[in-house]
Amino acid sequence: MTEVPWLDDEEQRAWRAVMTMQDDLAEFLDRQMRNRDGLSKADYEVLVHLSEAPGGRLRSFRLGELLRWEKSRLSQHLGRMENRGLVIRERSLADQRGADVTISRRGTDLITAAAPRHVADVRAAFFDHLTAAELQTITTIAAKVKEGLAKLQP
């Protein structure tokens, strides 16, 4: 492998700043929802997708695609959510292998209450600090980085 130059001071600062922004932002939003609404970020995303689906129902593997989750993760998490009464799982009639997941009444109530508060948090913690130009720039960066990663892991 060819020699790779170490990060210089400015790069160090930039890298640390971006990483801690990530961590702090994620932790803040997760903690808010957890304490205030009793939902983890994972719970929230599951409920968002279900509540947006027709009938509040999705095939399990379809939900996995939307979330980009491994199947075992999905299975375990849905199990816990089912125990808490947030979703209902049942074997699919069309394909006896598969499972249909439906959001419960309780799940609907929770996501309905949590969503606007979450949006408010996202605004307060992120968008409110950004100019239009900065928003544009960071979106561009995110797209480029994501594209670059896709090439790195084929």
**Segment 12-31, which members bind DNA (CB under 7 A)?**
27, 31
| CB closer to its own copies, 61 vs 126 | 126
Stretch that binds its own copies, among 47-55, 59-67, 76-84, 141-149 (CB under 8 A): 141-149
Helix count and strand count (H, E) for the chain? 6, 3
Strand partners, 19: none
Stretch that binds DNA, among 13-21, 90-98, 121-129, 130-138 (CB under 7 A): 90-98
The C-alpha torsion from 118 through 123 and 125 to 127, rounded to 10°, is: 140
As given in the structure block, the two tokens for residue 65 are: 């695609």
- Where do the H-state alpha helices sit in 38-129? 41-52, 60-67, 71-83, 105-125
How many angstroms separate the CA atoms of 35 and 40, rounded? 9
Q: How far is the CB of 82 from DNA (least distance, A)?
A: 9
How many angstroms separate the CA atoms of 142 and 136, rounded? 10
Binding site for its own copies (CB under 8 A): 1, 4, 6-7, 10-11, 13-15, 17-18, 20-22, 24-26, 28, 116-117, 119-120, 122-130, 134-135, 137-146, 148-149, 152-153
Binding site for DNA (CB under 7 A): 27, 31, 40-43, 59-61, 64, 69-80, 89, 92, 95-99
